[in-house]
């Protein structure tokens, strides 16, 4: 069986509209394998935002963890960071947590001509400009009780005269880490463990900041690999898992993940 994501080219949840290109029926004919695709549509038809879909898989991964690790928070640091909370009794909440790599990528591309800060090398030579960092962290997104999906344009990189290359990269790495922990403040219980996947886990400065800030509340931060998972394949694995859930007519999304009104 194939769980086929497709490529999202339009996603407007407020209009119950989502478009993923890719022909699942053609893929099934060409491969001779059953294909499950267009997994967001039914969620949106029942009042959900069609995303995120990965939390059901995060909950399955959490089942392999000890009770001492819970509540656990799975964090994906992509362009935008998002988190999945799995509580002591298995309850699931999920939402975007703030800017991930997008601000850093935009900053170093403009100021250094490189697409991303590999391993945090540029940030490692800078210092955090706290007034600039706090300007990002004072954004209404972090203070309102309503959680919502983010677009990469909701946060913009600093102006060229606000920071040098290295200080800008260092400050934005701190913002990426601090935003995750600030958003986690909206969870019902403080997580005991944070498990990090996505490209951001490869930035050692982001990871160091995450560990330092989380330690203040007694929490542990692990990469997906340190927790026994594959940080590069989590989303691909999730779509395979969701395909099997669909075959067994089990729900793919929940009120606490997409806002869907019915399963």
Q: Are strands 7-12 and 17-21 parallel, antiparallel or unpaired?
A: antiparallel
Q: What is the mean pLDDT of residues 171-200?
A: 95
The pLDDT of residue 68? 81
Ordered by start, the domain boundaries in the chain are 2-52+234-258, 66-223
The pLDDT of residue 117? 97
Using one digit for the tens of pLDDT, what is the confidence trace for 16-47?
A: 788 889 999 999 999 999 999 999 888 888 88
Instruction: Classify domain 66-223 by CATH architecture.
Output: 2-Layer Sandwich (3.30)
The pLDDT of residue 261? 86
Residue 189 has pLDDT above 70, yes or no: yes
The pLDDT of residue 51? 83
Residue 152 has pLDDT above 80, yes or no: no
The pLDDT of residue 107? 97
Q: 231 — phi, psi (to 5°)?
A: -70, -20
Which carries the bigger pLDDT value, residue 51 or residue 247? 247
Q: What is the mean pLDDT of residues 160-178?
A: 97
Q: What is the mean pLDDT of residues 124-145?
A: 94
Which carries the bigger pLDDT value, residue 93 or residue 149? 93
Task: For 150-180, give one letter per residue: b (16+ CB within 10 A) or e.
Answer: beeeebebbeeeebebbbbbbbbbbbbbbbb
Residue 148 has pLDDT above 80, yes or no: no
The pLDDT of residue 183? 94
Residue 94 has pLDDT above 70, yes or no: yes
Which carries the bigger pLDDT value, residue 70 or residue 123? 123
Quick one: fold of 2-52+234-258?
Answer: Nucleotidyltransferase; domain 5 (3.30.420)
Residue 180 has pLDDT above 60, yes or no: yes
Residue 86 has pLDDT above 80, yes or no: yes
Mean pLDDT, the chain, rounded, equals 92
The pLDDT of residue 263? 55
Residue 150 has pLDDT above 80, yes or no: no
The pLDDT of residue 49? 84
Q: Contact, 196 vs 223, CB < 8 A? A: yes
Residue 113 has pLDDT above 60, yes or no: yes
Report percent pLDDT > 90 for the chain.
Answer: 72
Same fold, 2-52+234-258 and 66-223: yes
Residue 13 has pLDDT above 80, yes or no: no
The pLDDT of residue 1? 94
Q: What is the mean pLDDT of residues 181-190?
A: 94
Q: How far apart are CA 26 and CA 216, in angstroms?
A: 52
């Amino acid at each position: 069986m194939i769980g086929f994501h497709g490529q999202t080219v339009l996603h407007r949840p407020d209009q119950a509209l989502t478009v993923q290109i890719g022909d699942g029926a053609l893929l099934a004919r060409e491969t001779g394998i059953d294909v499950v695709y267009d997994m967001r549509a039914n969620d949106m038809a029942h009042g959900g935002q069609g995303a995120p879909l990965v939390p059901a898989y995060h909950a399955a991964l959490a089942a392999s963890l000890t009770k001492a690790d819970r509540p656990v928070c799975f964090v994906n640091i992509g362009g935008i960071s998002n988190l999945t909370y799995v509580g002591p009794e298995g309850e699931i909440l999920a939402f975007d947590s703030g800017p991930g790599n997008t601000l850093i990528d935009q900053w170093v591309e403009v100021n250094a001509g490189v697409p991303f800060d590999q391993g945090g090398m540029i940030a490692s030579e800078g210092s955090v400009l706290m007034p600039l960092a706090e300007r990002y962290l004072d954004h209404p997104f972090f203070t309102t009780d309503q959680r919502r999906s983010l677009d990469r344009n909701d946060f913009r990189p600093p102006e060229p005269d606000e920071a040098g290359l290295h200080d800008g990269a260092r400050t934005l790495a701190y913002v990426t880490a601090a935003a995750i922990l600030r958003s986690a403040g909206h969870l019902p219980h403080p997580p005991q463990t944070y498990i990090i996947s996505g490209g951001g886990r490869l930035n050692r400065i982001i990871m160091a900041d995450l560990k330092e800030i989380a330690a203040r509340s007694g929490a542990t931060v692990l990469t997906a690999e340190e927790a026994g998972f594959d940080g590069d394949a989590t989303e691909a694995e999730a779509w395979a898992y969701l395909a099997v859930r669909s075959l067994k007519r089990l729900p793919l999304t929940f009120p606490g993940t997409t806002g869907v009104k019915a399963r």
